[in-house]
Amino acid sequence: MSEKLKVGVLGATGMVGQRFVTLLENHPWFELVTVAASAHSAGKTYEEAVGDRWKMETPMPEFVKNMVVKDVSDVENVAKDVDFVFSAVNMSKDEIRAIEEEYAKTETPVVSNNSAHRWTPDVPMVIPEINPQHYEVIKDQRKRLGTTRGFIAVKPNCSIQAYTPCLAAWMEFEPREVVVSTYQAISGAGKTFKDWPEMIGNIIPFISGEEEKSEQEPLKVFGHIEDGKIVKLDNGLRITSQCIRVPVLNGHTATVFVNFAKKPTKEQLIEKLVNFSGEPQRLGLPHAPKQFIQYRTEPDRPQVKLDVDYEGGMGITIGRLREDSIFDWKFVGLAHNTLRGAAGGALESAEMLKAIGYITKK
Ligand SMILES: N[C@@H](CC=O)C(=O)O
């Protein structure tokens, strides 16, 4: 492997930013050289800026402690030293849309965890195992932005990761009506039990904007490119959801009911799940799970404590697939929300973008 690509993390002090920092320690292809955050953190060392707000299970990596945090709004100053950036900035949606475009216009690719650009029609929203073909729209986005190298790519919401891969694996059976309830960990809100003690022994039946994302984002992931824009799937697949915050640190669980146009057998469904793999597996990307979806036959799986870290938090665990009295089939899925569902998913996307030539040395 030639020289590593230099990367910056925008919003490096928040929970997703911390996850990026942790995942980038000793990355074989990428070297973290710049951390950027709000003006309040700028000028401090990373260790000082984070203070007692370090939320990862492992200690802060030594290599980042003395890096001086840059002001994320000082776009030219951040962009000059990096080949691309990960974005986990914490601003209003309008501000995020604007600043991510500013970075792209400095010819710096942006791989974003934020939702702000998910519905920009020429911005690919990719789960690399499912729809890497959507990266082709980057050439149209570059025309709009007037760039030759810079672009924005995003990943979809964490809440969809425990069931969208199943629907992808089962597309030939034509899933139609899907009813989902998600049970979402508190790290999805950037919190631990220390800073959200109200969640101990509690359930909150509302997560702002989450149900719309859970219902609509899979349709863009399953969409196609038409005239330089991604058009969402319109084949009769409809998803309805309820999203609930539960007292779990990491791991979003989903209970799912599905009707199909062509009802498959249980054996067919399981066979499709366990054999589902994509370009990340074929290319052997550093953060690609070897087995993307595991199926557990025990009646009490998936369990957060036993399964959330499957394949380093990048795999999905499915269980309890059984016939339903109203729908065709029902099952339970689990995905790690800050790994597969956030920083890990964005990192796998960046690895894919490098492997297929969209992110290169400046
Ligand atoms: N919006 C999500 C983020 C994913 O982890 C949530 O609140 O859980």
Structure ipTM? 0.95
Residue pointed to by tokens 């002090």? 13
Cβ-proximal residues to 167 (8 Å cutoff; 6+ apart), any chain: 175, 178, 218, 222, 237, 258
Residue 344 CA to ligand 1 center (angstroms) comes to 14
In short, whether 249's Cβ falls inside 6 Å of ligand 1 is: no
End-to-end CA distance of the chain: 17
- 240-297 per-position pLDDT tens digit: 999 999 999 999 999 999 999 999 999 999 999 999 999 999 999 999 999 999 999 9
Instruction: Report DSSP letters for 255-323, one per residue.
Output: EEEEEESSPPPHHHHHHHHHT---HHHHHT-TT--SSSEEEE-STT---HHHHTTGGGGTSEEEEEEEE
Q: Is the CB of 190 under 6 A from ligand 1?
A: no
Task: Tally the C-alpha atoms within 13 A of residue 308's C-alpha that lie toward its C-beta.
Answer: 17
Name the residue type at position 294.
Q
Pick the CATH number of 5-157+343-355 from 3.40.50.720, 2.115.10.20, 3.90.180.10, 3.40.1360.10: 3.40.50.720
To the nearest whole number, what is the mean pLDDT of the chain? 98
For ligand 1, is residue 321 a contact (CB within 6 Å)?
A: no
**Statement: residue 299 has pLDDT above 60:** yes
Ligand 1 midpoint to CA 203 (Å): 15
Q: Whose CA is nearest to atom 8 of ligand 1?
A: 188
Query: What ligand 1 atom has the least distance to the C-alpha of 115?
Result: 1
CA–CA separation, 124 and 137 (whole Å): 7
The contacts of residue 195 (CB under 8 Å, 6+ apart) are: none
Confidence (pLDDT) at 97: 98
Check pLDDT > 90 for residue 311: yes
pLDDT > 50? residue 41: yes
> 135-175 pLDDT, tens per residue?
999 999 999 999 999 999 999 999 999 999 999 999 999 99
Residue ranges per structural domain of the chain: 5-157+343-355, 159-336
Say whether pTM exceeds 0.90.
yes
Cβ–ligand 1 contact at 158 (below 6 Å) = yes
Gap from CA of 354 to ligand 1 centroid (Å): 27
Q: Residue 45: what are its φ and ψ, rounded to 5°?
A: -70, 160
Tell whether domain 159-336 is in CATH 3.30.360.10: yes
Edge-to-edge strands, sheet with 252-260: 238-245, 175-184, 252-260, 329-335, 316-323, 293-296
* Interval 197-232: pLDDT, tens: 999 999 999 999 999 999 999 999 999 999 999 999
Using pLDDT thresholds of 50, 70 and 90, give the confidence band for residue 332. Answer: very high
Q: Residue 111's pLDDT is what?
A: 99
What is residue 2's predicted lDDT score, i.e. its pLDDT? 60
Classify residue 148 by its DSSP letter. Answer: S
- Rounded CA-CA distance 276/127 in Å is 13
Ligand 1, atom 4, residue with closest C-alpha: 188
Q: What is the pLDDT, as a whole number, of residue 171?
A: 98
pLDDT score at 230: 98
Label residue 282 exposed, middle or buried (CB < 10 Å: 0-12, 13-18, 19+): exposed
Rounded to the nearest whole angstrom, what is the distance from the C-alpha of residue 210 to the centroid of ligand 1? Answer: 8
In ligand 1, the atom with minimum distance to the C-alpha of 209 is: 1
Dihedral angle computed from the Cα positions of residues 184, 316, 346 and 252, in that order, rounded to the nearest 10 degrees: 0
Please identify, by atom number, the ligand 1 atom nearest to the C-alpha of residue 207. 7
pLDDT band at residue 1, thresholds of 50, 70 and 90? Answer: very low
From 113, 199, 207, the mutation candidate for ligand 1 (largest count of ligand atoms within 8 A of CB) is 207
> What share of the chain has pLDDT > 90, as a percent?
99
3-state secondary structure of 37: strand
> 190-226: b or e for each residue (b if 16 or more CB lie within 10 Å)?
bbbeeebeebeeeeeeebeebbebbbbbbbbbbbebe
**Which residue, judged by its Cα, is nearest atom 6 of ligand 1?**
188
342 within ligand 1 shell (Cβ under 6 A) = yes
Find out whether the beta carbon of 184 lies less than 6 Å from any atom of ligand 1: yes
